[in-house]
Amino acid sequence: MLERPRSKEGDRLLDETTIRELLRTDYARLVNAVSLTAGSIAAAEDAVQEALVRAWTSRDRIESPTAWVAVVAMNLARSAWRRSAAERRARDRLEQPRSPTAADLERLDVERAVGALPRRQREVAVLRYFLQCDTRETATALGVSEGTVKNSLSKARAALAMTLGDEDDLEVIPDGEHR
């Protein structure tokens, strides 16, 4: 039987207390963040719960649990079977159609703007803007260099500002000033 590789001795595993704390403090924003890439709250909830379980049972070292869970959940939400299962559940929960509110339209704008970004930029933008992860956390969670994060964030920022913002939003902030 094949087994997944074990971590090196001394690596920190997430315990029940950490998982409870994550569930209490970060669950809602994780779901909202992942829903920007997953396409629905139901799919995001399913993916975040699975990612939390994986974090809990993981033998890997997890430096930033929130960022780690977000990235794993975003990846999970991409998988086809999970998407189809989650959509089936979402369909079950569908209510009667109603007129969109201003908040609905605002959400649609943001979802479209984020959804239009290439995958890497989208992930960086969600981690940075929604989950307030800093550059190092984002780089670690995505398994890329900090330079890649800065580069992706710069492009995502310009695209989002162009789509969502006004003229002032095009003001460029040097990468060094970011958290």
Partner 1 sequence: MANIDERLARRLQRIARPVVGPAFEVLDRRRRRRQRRRVVGAGILAATVVAGSIGAFAIARATFGDARPEDPMPVDIAPVDPGPSVEDLPGADIGLDFRLCGLQRLAGIDFFGDGTRGIAWTGAPLEEGRRCPSARDVHVVAVDHDGDGSADSFTYLPICTGCRPYEATDLGGDGTAELVVLLQLGSTPEYGIFDVVPEGLPRSAGVVPIFVQPPGARRAGYPSNQPVSLWAGGDEGFSAAIRCEGYPEATELVAAWSVYSVAEAESDPNAVEEFHQTRLRLEEPDASSASFIVLETSSGERPVGEGAPFEQPPRACGVDWAP
- The binding site for partner 1 (CB under 8 A) comprises 1-4, 19-20, 23-24, 27-29, 31-32, 35-36, 39, 41, 45, 49-50, 52-54, 56-57, 79-81, 83-85, 87-88, 103, 106-107, 110-112, 114-115, 125-126, 128-130, 132, 157, 160-161, 164-165, 168-173, 177-178
The contacts of residue 3 (CB under 8 Å, 6+ apart) are none
For 40, the token pair is 């629905």
Contact assessment for residue 14 and residue 65, using Cβ atoms and an 8 Å cutoff: yes
Segments in 13-118 forming alpha helices (H): 16-25, 27-38, 41-57, 65-78, 80-93, 102-115
Minimum CB distance to partner 1, residue 137 (Å): 15
Tell me whether residue 63 or residue 169 sits nearer to partner 1 (CB atom): 169
Tell me whether residue 19 or residue 144 sits nearer to partner 1 (CB atom): 19
Tell me whether residue 26 or residue 64 sits nearer to partner 1 (CB atom): 26
Integer Cα distance of 177 and 63 in angstroms? 23
